[in-house]
Every structure is written in structure tokens, then in C-alpha cells.
């Protein structure tokens, strides 16, 4: 049995979220399964074509928005580390 010690406890949320990979591609739907101040677990239909970095939107308008890096993946889930705090409305307009 493997135990993973986390710096921050994760909060179970199980809610819709969206992934923006940039390049004017459409948003990709996913499920935000849990979240902590440093990262999250996402459920996706297909993880094979995911880029290493992307922005995670908690609303379709993109606020709040987290800049993420994939740190692990399985068949339908990925674990991400937040690269920066959530973007504020002013920061999102610039992105």
C-alpha cells in the first residue's frame, strides 16, 4: 500500500470545469474532483492528447482561472499542480 503525504488537504468538490489549451481551440469540459491551494484532480474523457500545461477555468467565463501543469495521469484522470494563484479579473483580460 502506498501513502501519499500532501502538504495541503484536498477538498472534494465534484463539479464541472473547463480546460483552455490556447491556440483559439474550444474549451474542453472536465470534472473537478478535488482541489487544494496547490493543485487539483480532474476527470477527463481522454487524457492522451492533453498538453503538459493549460489553464483550468472554474466557470465558462474563465474566472477564477488556474495555470496548471500535469504531474500525474491515469486512464481518465490527471493530477495538476497550480503554477500560479488564481487569476484575478484584470489578469484574465490580459491573457
Res. 24 pLDDT band, cuts 50 70 90: confident
| Residue where the block lists cell 466557470 | 59
Looking at residue 87, the DSSP 8-state letter turns out to be B
Report which of residues 48 and 42 the model is more confident about.
42
Q: What's the CATH class of domain 11-94?
A: mainly beta
Res. 1 pLDDT band, cuts 50 70 90: low
Q: How does DSSP assign 23-48, residue by residue?
A: TTPPPEEEEEEEE-SSEEEEE-S--T
Rounded CA-CA distance 32/3 in Å is: 22
CA 87 to chain centre: 13
Residues 6+ apart with CB under 8 A from 63: 57, 87, 89, 92
Report which of residues 8 and 44 the model is more confident about.
44
pLDDT of residue 4: 56
Averaged pLDDT for residues 39-43: 97
Q: pLDDT tens across 56-79, in order?
A: 999 988 888 999 999 999 989 999
Residue boundaries of the structural domains of the chain:
11-94
| Burial of residue 67, with CB atoms counted within 10 A of its CB: 0-12 exposed, 13-18 middle, 19 or more buried | middle
User: Is the predicted pLDDT of residue 93 greater than 60, yes or no?
Assistant: no
Amino acid at each position: 500500500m502506498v501513502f501519499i503525504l500532501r502538504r495541503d488537504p484536498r477538498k472534494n468538490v465534484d463539479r464541472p470545469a473547463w480546460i483552455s489549451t490556447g491556440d483559439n481551440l474550444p474549451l474542453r469540459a472536465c470534472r473537478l474532483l478535488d482541489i487544494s491551494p496547490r493543485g487539483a484532480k480532474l476527470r477527463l474523457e481522454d487524457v492522451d492528447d492533453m498538453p503538459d500545461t493549460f489553464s483550468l477555468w472554474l466557470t465558462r467565463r474563465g474566472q477564477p482561472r488556474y495555470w496548471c501543469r500535469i504531474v500525474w495521469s491515469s486512464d481518465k484522470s490527471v493530477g495538476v499542480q497550480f503554477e500560479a494563484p488564481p487569476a484575478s479579473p484584470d489578469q484574465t483580460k490580459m491573457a
